[in-house]
Amino acid sequence: MEPKADELERSRRVKRSAIVLGLVAFAFYLAFILMSVLGFRQ
């Protein structure tokens, strides 16, 4: 396998995991805002 193809695959994987982590962080952010707006308290 050429080094170029290997680096392309790794950068693609890094980009995909960055997008997934970003979506998870965004979901937590949205949930926190919704809970504070809707007034979830224990």
- Which whole number is the average pLDDT over 13-36? 96
pLDDT at 10: 92
Q: Give me the long-range contacts of 21-27 (CB less than 8 A, separation at least 24).
A: none
Q: How would residue 13 be classed by pLDDT, with cut points 50, 70 and 90?
A: very high
Say which residue the tokens 């170029």 belong to: 4
Average pLDDT of every residue of the chain:
89
Instruction: Please say if the pLDDT value at position 19 is more than 90.
Output: yes
Residue type for 22, please?
G
Alpha helices in the chain (DSSP H): 3-38
Using alpha carbons only, give the angle 6, 1, 21 rounded to the nearest 5 degrees. Answer: 20
Output the six-digit token pair for 9: 């695959």
